[in-house]
Structure 1
Amino acid sequence: MAAPSPLPGTDASAMRNDVDTLLGLARSRTQDDRARLMMGIVSLCQTRSPEAAAEPVLGDIFLNLVRDAETALRQTLAEQLAESDWAPRALLDLLMLDEIEIARPLIARSPLIRDEDLIRILVEATIEHQIEVARRPRLSARVADAVIEGGQAAPLTALAGNTTAEISDGGLQRLVEEARRLAALRAPLSRHPRLNRDLAKTLYALVGDALRNELESRFSETGPALAPAITAAIEETLERPRAAMTVLLSPSGSGQDDRDEMDRRLVDKLAGSGQLRPGFLIRALREKQLGLFEHALSVLSGHPLTQIRQSVRRNSADALYLACAGIGIDRAVFPTLLIELRRLNSGLPGHESPPDLSGRTITTMEAGYGFRMLMEAPVGGTV
């Protein structure tokens, strides 16, 4: 919708001095009159703040108009008010929680939106609104901390990419810690202007070769010893698991109980350092480490180890599928995992296919509940 033309023969000064005219237009039922009134008041707001006596009247007019206005007109209004130094507080409260296409310009650049408003949006509005808050230029440390506290992946990623946000030292450290579980954070954080040497060491252990090269190049200017320091920092995280894996692969390893205890310790070490991820399951199977697979799936899923071991020895793969779906393994990946497991586990779980869920997407909560129900039910075909 095109912006309505201003009232004929009525400039901002006349509108400010003739509240009766504004009220008359507010009572009109025609869409054109109501749209012209709204945009006329916007012009008034952009010219100068109204007198204190007129503010309540203007606020009531705005709210009456906006509640019934079409989406396109509300969007035009929000775009205009985003540049204004004055607007009725109740109107801002209404528009900033409106549909995201309407709220976006206000959240992004209105000087009238306060930290309290932004925090309210984080609590009450949609994930799209939260992303816009995280992207707002020169976001305060208080609001940035609120975004981090929310823990939502998309807003956190938007905040990590907002180089003008006033993220506190503690907030930046928390973002780097979140990067252990959220891969999308790693690239923007690796390039963040406030990243320091210590946090770079943590990221170095998480990112691929390209970002590692960027980190080494960036920090070598401030200290040539960065790369060795980073390498030393990740040795404790990675070298012990490698050593443990080497022992496990050794044919002269200890008895089964000792091997099981080593599996448990290795998985606990990886989980404690943030290195245990679903992809580790296939890696363990390809290295012929069934015990590691079982311990890792138990820790990742939260299901008891005894039930995980039962699921991999059943005559069907339904329970195992649910356990894997519960930690986010995609149905397209599961067949590969199942092939590797059957090669290692005498063809078990049986040769039946996983449940056919092609008609819908199973949630992790549904998968976890389904696994528990299945394992608690009597099963005649377990091995």
Structure 2
Amino acid sequence: MSFAMSSESLLDLAKSRQPADRERLLLAIADLCDTPHAGEAMKSGAIQVLLSSIFMSLVVEAERDIRHRLSEKLAAADWAPNALINVLALDDIEIARPIIAQSPVLQDSDLMRLLVEATIEHQIEVARRPHISEAVVGAILEQSEPAVLTALAGNHTAELSPKDMQDLVEASRQIAALRTPLSQHPKLTGQLAKRLYLWVGLALRKGLADRFRLDVAVLDAALAASINEAHAGHMASSSSEAVPRMTREGEREVMEQRLIDKLYSAGQLRPGYLVRALREGRLGLFVGALAMLGRFDTGHVQSAIDSDRPELLALACAAVGIDRSVFPDILEMTRQLNDGRPGGGADGARKASVAFAPVAPEVAASAFRQAARSLAA
């Protein structure tokens, strides 16, 4: 069958609303990807109109195995619609993996959105993607997710600057999984190898010493000194431990706010990030991000989640574009992380659904601010 005949058949299938025909249409398009000169043909005006008009609705309704097959077929296609590729990149990880790994359609902004909105598994695939740019690398380093950093350390084609390598080596002091891939990284310098030497095991120390011809005697002396310092710190009185603990807490809050500010400035702070923050157990990050998205007072958001009125949290979520169907999960995760608050039990959760009435986000935001002020009074 010629490609022209195939195109006509596709157009005929596109006119059908039968589920079976719609699935046949997706599979037919996927099969065309394997035909000679498919890319050039797919860029033609008629086919592009066809793709734009049907792809999105078809993919949303398609069975998982069909989406998986389509993902594999389109992973290397430079003609695939941007919206479709981004939908597949956010799908289940097995479907998303080939798209994230090689689709030429994905731009830096798309990859950075995945780092903000998608699961840890998706983020790991972004870090593994060949030749990711310094901008994407910077976003990964900013978020400091250990598993994603480890994937980045193993990606020898990533555009890592000397400062990026320094940050990764410094992070390996706390994240042991980073040490092996960093010790083998082609961009590791002799100076950084000396720092890495202090934190790795015996086998890796030997490899570093051989590769960079390190002065083992000097480094072992430095290692012994650091061990002695650690023991001395451990022997400090328990009364002095409160200050460092408070300092760490303050530093964490500052780092979280910096992350929120950077994401917001880059246009990457979106409602989906709120769910991700809760799933990762970072309640403070959730509060700060919700306040930033809604232009709310952070103290008001904190008061709302500490209250016995879950409808206040619902109003804030409605104001920033959270869907009604997502809110029960947000409420449950917030309660798990906040000692059962906001209270109100099941009745409170039912009342909260009223906040998602069909009103403008500005109305929900105004209602939240007014209620939060009265709560704080």
| TM-score under structure 1 length normalisation | 0.58
Correspondent of 2:10 among 19, 22, 26: 22
Are 2:122 and 1:129 aligned? yes
- For the residue of structure 1 that corresponds to 2:182, the secondary structure is helix
Give a deviation string over 1:284-339, Cα, whole Å, max 9, x none.
Answer: 4xxxx4x44554576357699xxxxxxxxxxxxxxxxxxxxxxxxxxxxxxxxxxx
C-alpha distance in 2 between matches for 1:209 and 1:295 = 34
Give, in angstroms, the shift of residue 113 of structure 1: 1.9
- For the residue of structure 1 that corresponds to 2:100, the secondary structure is helix
- For the residue of structure 2 that corresponds to 1:48, the secondary structure is helix
Say if 1:217 and 1:126 are closer, same or farther in 2 by CA, change over 3 A. same
Give, in angstroms, the shift of residue 191 of structure 1: 1.6
Are 2:77 and 1:88 aligned? no
The answer for the alignment partner of 1:13 in structure 2 is 4
The share of aligned pairs that are identical, in percent, is: 45
Residues 337-348 of structure 1 correspond to what in structure 2 (within 5 A)?
none
The answer for the alignment partner of 2:216 in structure 1 is 227
Residues 253-272 of structure 1 correspond to what in structure 2 (within 5 A)?
267=233
Asked whether the equivalents of residues 81 and 87 of structure 1 are also in contact (C-alpha less than 8 Å), the reply is: yes
Say if 1:152 and 1:205 are closer, same or farther in 2 by CA, change over 3 A. same
Give, in angstroms, the shift of residue 115 of structure 1: 1.9
Say if 1:303 and 1:171 are closer, same or farther in 2 by CA, change over 3 A. closer
Give, in angstroms, the shift of residue 53 of structure 1: 4.8
C-alpha distance in 2 between matches for 1:227 and 1:32 = 69
Q: Which amino acid aligns with 1:160?
A: A
Give a deviation string over 1:26-73, Cα, whole Å, max 9, x none.
Answer: 243444422221122234455123213541331221112111001111
Residues 77-156 of structure 1 correspond to what in structure 2 (within 5 A)?
77-156=70-149
The answer for the alignment partner of 1:74 in structure 2 is 67
RMSD: 3.1
Residues 1-383 of structure 1 correspond to what in structure 2 (within 5 A)?
10-16=1-7, 18=8, 21-45=9-33, 47-49=38-40, 50-220=43-213, 226-228=215-217, 230-231=219-220, 234=223, 237-238=226-227, 241=229, 267=233, 284=234, 289=235, 291-292=236-237, 295-296=240-241, 299-300=244-245
The answer for the alignment partner of 1:379 in structure 2 is none
Asked whether the equivalents of residues 45 and 87 of structure 1 are also in contact (C-alpha less than 8 Å), the reply is: no
C-alpha distance in 1 between matches for 2:178 and 2:248 = 28
Give, in angstroms, the shift of residue 117 of structure 1: 1.5
Q: Which amino acid aligns with 1:39?
A: L
Asked whether the equivalents of residues 124 and 148 of structure 2 are also in contact (C-alpha less than 8 Å), the reply is: yes
Say if 1:166 and 1:33 are closer, same or farther in 2 by CA, change over 3 A. same
C-alpha distance in 1 between matches for 2:122 and 2:39 = 29
Give, in angstroms, the shift of residue 184 of structure 1: 1.1
C-alpha distance in 2 between matches for 1:125 and 1:144 = 16
Count of residues in Structure 1 that have an aligned counterpart in Structure 2: 251
Asked whether the equivalents of residues 23 and 61 of structure 1 are also in contact (C-alpha less than 8 Å), the reply is: no
Say if 1:152 and 1:39 are closer, same or farther in 2 by CA, change over 3 A. same
- For the residue of structure 2 that corresponds to 1:80, the secondary structure is helix
Give, in angstroms, the shift of residue 82 of structure 1: 0.7
Give, in angstroms, the shift of residue 213 of structure 1: 1.1
Say if 1:303 and 1:59 are closer, same or farther in 2 by CA, change over 3 A. closer
**Higher relative contact order by CA 8 Å / sep ≥ 6: 1 or 2?**
2
C-alpha distance in 2 between matches for 1:115 and 1:296 = 43
Give, in angstroms, the shift of residue 85 of structure 1: 2.7
Give, in angstroms, the shift of residue 365 of structure 1: 6.7
| TM-score under structure 2 length normalisation | 0.59
C-alpha distance in 2 between matches for 1:181 and 1:55 = 50
Instruction: From the two aligned structures, give the one with the greater helix fraction.
Output: 2
Give a deviation string over 1:189-220, Cα, whole Å, max 9, x none.
Answer: 11211110111111111112111111111111
Asked whether the equivalents of residues 144 and 165 of structure 1 are also in contact (C-alpha less than 8 Å), the reply is: yes
Q: Which amino acid aligns with 1:106?
A: I
Say if 1:190 and 1:297 are closer, same or farther in 2 by CA, change over 3 A. farther
Structure 2 regions of 5+ residues with no counterpart?
250-335, 342-377
C-alpha distance in 2 between matches for 1:186 and 1:174 = 13
